[in-house]
């Protein structure tokens, strides 16, 4: 299938009529009035949509190919207050990018800050929009080679009110948590599913280093 058949439109096929910031805080809320080209020809009517705008982010699943262990973290998330059990979620390490920062550098830095893990090698998993129906957040996801023999403990930056529990577990145990629905954030779900599919050749690649 050609690229033209996969992707119908470009950045030239929409028009922003008006843009207004309606809230500025930890995130920004921006109200757009816009229109865009339709699949059957012509243009849509002008519509109004609010978009939560925030910095792009990067995340990493720390993995020890020798021990076959992954490192996950647990922390409180206000966006999950409505969870039926607990707003503390099992996640992978992640952080936001400042202007001109490289996502891979951010992922490696956050691994030290949030999990005490030095990243020895990186492999890119994917990049994606987290929730494009209402947010512009763009996420870069990696798997990182580590030595998990001493990983664990409580981490995070006090000035950012971070209180992060780090723990290790066998990769198969993490896959079981995923299957049981106990992991409910997209970076953790995607990275663990990726590792489940790619673990054998990744271990061969990294065990030679």
Q: Using one digit for the tens of pLDDT, what is the confidence trace for 115-153?
A: 999 999 999 999 999 999 999 999 999 999 999 988 888
Known binding residue 118? Answer is no
Is 160 among the residues known to form the active site?
Answer: yes
Q: Using one digit for the tens of pLDDT, what is the confidence trace for 97-122?
A: 988 899 999 999 999 998 999 999 99
Beta strand extents in the chain (DSSP E only): 14-24, 28-36, 47-53, 57-64, 69-76, 88-91, 93-96, 121-129, 138-145, 153-155, 164-170
Does residue 62 sit in the same domain as residue 149? yes
The residue among 134, 136, 121 whose CA lies nearest residue 61 is 121
Does residue 174 sit in the same domain as residue 152? yes
Does residue 27 sit in the same domain as residue 83? no
Does residue 48 sit in the same domain as residue 62? no
Known binding residue 94? Answer is yes
Domain end: 33, 53, 73, which one?
53
Among residues 3, 4, 150, 160, which one is catalytic? 160
Helices (H), the chain: 3-6, 103-115, 171-179, 186-207
Domain end: 18, 36, 53, which one?
53
Full pLDDT tens readout for the chain, 209 residues: 555 577 789 999 999 999 999 999 989 999 999 999 999 989 999 999 999 999 999 999 999 999 999 999 999 999 999 988 899 999 999 999 988 899 999 999 999 998 999 999 999 999 999 999 999 999 999 999 999 988 888 887 877 777 889 999 999 999 999 999 999 999 999 999 999 999 999 999 998 76
Known binding residue 159? Answer is no
Q: Which residues of 65-82 are buried (b: 16+ CB within 10 A; e: fewer)?
A: beeebbbbbebeeeeeee
Does residue 130 sit in the same domain as residue 162? yes
Distance CA 141, CA 143 (A): 7
Does residue 32 sit in the same domain as residue 101? no
pTM of the model: 0.92
Does residue 48 sit in the same domain as residue 63? no
Known binding residue 111? Answer is no
Q: How many domains does the chain have?
A: 2
Q: Tokens representing 187? A: 């970076």
Does residue 45 sit in the same domain as residue 121? no
Does residue 89 sit in the same domain as residue 178? yes
Distance CA 63, CA 119 (A): 9
Domain end: 35, 53, 71, which one?
53
**Within a 10 A sphere around the Cβ of 43, how many other Cβ atoms?**
12
Does residue 125 sit in the same domain as residue 34? no
Burial zone of 97 (CB within 10 Å; 0-12 exposed, 13-18 middle, 19+ buried) = middle
Does residue 152 sit in the same domain as residue 72? yes
Does residue 65 sit in the same domain as residue 154? yes
Q: Residue 197: give the domain boundaries.
A: 57-207
Q: What is the side-by-side order of every strand in the sheet holding 14-24? A: 14-24, 28-36, 47-53
CATH code at position 107? 3.90.79.10
């Amino acid at each position: 299938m050609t690229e033209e058949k996969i992707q119908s439109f470009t950045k030239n096929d929409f028009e922003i009529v008006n843009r207004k910031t309606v809230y500025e805080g930890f995130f920004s809320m921006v109200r757009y009035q816009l229109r865009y080209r339709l699949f059957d020809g012509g243009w849509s009517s002008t519509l109004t949509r609010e978009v939560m705008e925030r910095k792009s982010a990067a995340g990493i699943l720390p993995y020890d190919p020798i021990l076959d262990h992954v490192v996950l973290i647990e922390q409180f998330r206000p966006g999950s207050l409505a969870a039926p059990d607990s707003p503390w979620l099992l996640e992978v390490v992640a952080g936001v990018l400042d202007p001109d920062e490289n996502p891979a550098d951010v992922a490696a830095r956050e691994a030290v800050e949030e999990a005490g893990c030095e990243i020895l090698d990186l492999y890119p998993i994917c990049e994606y929009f987290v929730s494009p129906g209402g947010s512009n957040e763009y996420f870069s996801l990696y798997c990182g080679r580590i030595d998990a023999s001493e990983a664990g403990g409580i981490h995070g930056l006090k000035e950012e009110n971070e209180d992060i529990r780090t723990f290790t577990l066998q990769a198969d145990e993490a896959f079981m948590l995923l299957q049981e629905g106990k992991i409910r954030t997209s970076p953790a779900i995607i990275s663990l599913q990726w590792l489940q599919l790619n673990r054998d050749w990744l271990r061969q690649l990294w065990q030679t280093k």
